[in-house]
Structure 1
């Protein structure tokens, strides 16, 4: 089920799939930003514009015109005509158009695009990109005009040679973000069909995307069951119940097994000291990690490494 739902989607994958050109040099200089008219893009392989669950490496703000659905772990949002959707790399979702007249615009950008600017903005600190909520907003006729104006201004600015155009584009993206944060999110409906399989797959995807640990600069951010439940916008008890039914293990057991697997690799295949491994795996101190490792394996980290 996992392979059917989840794909890795880098920026290069996005451009190749949609037949668009990757702007030369932009990723090296300022992170990445681009804006598109959605009706001009399509999947070159399938000819459609269905967006699968994927590990997107970028943020996305979409102005959607036409009937569609946005599916999250166990919730579905029905989009009747016009909506504004904010997507973060941390929360997988599935966009499914329901008619042949889908239009609108969207922009994609990386966190580096904002951290490279003067403000040093951290996107994940903004309310609209926080886990545990669905950032999809229905638009009125007046709001559509205002959103379209911002997107069209972005689109026009991308073709200019203005020296400070990316500073201006950052401001326009922030205008969209603040606009969305003032709107009332759309209601999500419970979706029981295949929900357990989808929740299980998305949990595993969130768990696996943190590995492998290849640098001392990396650290696990999701360590507790509640961390994963918040990202999937479901209650932690519901996540535990689903994972127990599907896998036979609790959320904590699945996390512990994967952490131990990575700990063994780091102990045997790197020269990192125990404190460094402990920190990278998200433990508060070396003693806590040593106790955890011994409880799971009957060995201390030092003994296992010998």
Structure 2
């Protein structure tokens, strides 16, 4: 199953201390790629992060998303968002460039970062750069590196502007040479990630905990694929549709909560993302033949 990489675990992996930004919202940092690559060339796990990452990298690599694989070489600019699981495979040993990581809060004053196309669509998030474009973006990263090391009181405001210039500069360019392919095991990857995202929402331990994704379209959005594509992949791999998987897991959790907690029916319904308790009761009775209340006392 895919892992979840937090900022803390990222810093542990590169063996560097996590430094908080005094007086600043969120987190930002950047590194030279050659300083953070693992020396044993160990392949990273297929995972998602709780932070955004922009990589300017020179070398040959392969990046796997749920339904696409990008073979990239030369100098490339890669954007990854927290909710999109991916695996980055280093093909050649020699790699140079920069990685900058930041949280959504760091750029919150600049707008909804998740809405930018380079973070929404995988086909726009991987760009092969010409020599001229590579020089342009390299200079922006160098300036961010210089400002980060400096003592200017408003350096993070300046870095935000430079970061936005990277984002907008990338969106003005089209991905020309990055080759995206759909691999034969794409449906297996889609299925594995869907099941991991579904299961990650459980168990529900607190009455104020609410599952965040409860519809096929919600899961498809997280995977950045069409809901029909998700349904086809799951049907092929498991014999069940997206909604069947979701309903089965919600029903399983509902039975556990009814038998092991003293929460009210309303609280359980709310935790399972039902807006109205009667909708939950109808859902439960349709699949079990009895009401939630009857199941609890049975």
d(CA) in 1 for partners of 2:134 and 2:122?
A: 26
Q: Which residue is 2:181 aligned to?
A: 189
Maintained 8 Å contact 1:131/1:232: no
CA apart distance, 1:176: 1.6
Maintained 8 Å contact 1:132/1:232: no
Maintained 8 Å contact 1:86/1:135: yes
Q: Which residue is 1:75 aligned to?
A: 68
Q: Which residue is 2:253 aligned to?
A: 262
Q: Which residue is 2:156 aligned to?
A: 166
CA apart distance, 1:146: 1.5
Q: Does 1:14 align with 2:16?
A: no
Return the TM-score normalized by structure 2: 0.86
The Cα offsets for residues 9-28 of structure 1, whole Å up to 9 and x where unpaired, read as 111211111222211x3399
Return the TM-score normalized by structure 1: 0.84
Root mean square deviation of aligned Cα = 2.7
Maintained 8 Å contact 2:4/2:49: yes
d(CA) in 1 for partners of 2:123 and 2:281?
A: 36
Deviating runs (4+, > 6 A) in structure 1? none
CA apart distance, 1:95: 1.2
d(CA) in 1 for partners of 2:73 and 2:283?
A: 50
Number of aligned pairs?
295
Q: Which residue is 2:31 aligned to?
A: 36
Decide whether aligned partners of structure 1 residues 269 and 30 sit closer, same or farther in structure 2, where only a CA change above 3 A counts.
Answer: farther
Q: Does 1:157 align with 2:150?
A: no
The Cα offsets for residues 19-76 of structure 1, whole Å up to 9 and x where unpaired, read as 22211x33995222110100111237xx226332113111111112111111112321
Moved more, 53-62 or 243-252: 243-252
Alignment of 1:60-209 (within 5 A): 60-115=53-108, 119=109, 121-130=111-120, 133-185=123-175, 186-192=178-184, 194-209=185-200
d(CA) in 2 for partners of 1:219 and 1:183?
A: 40
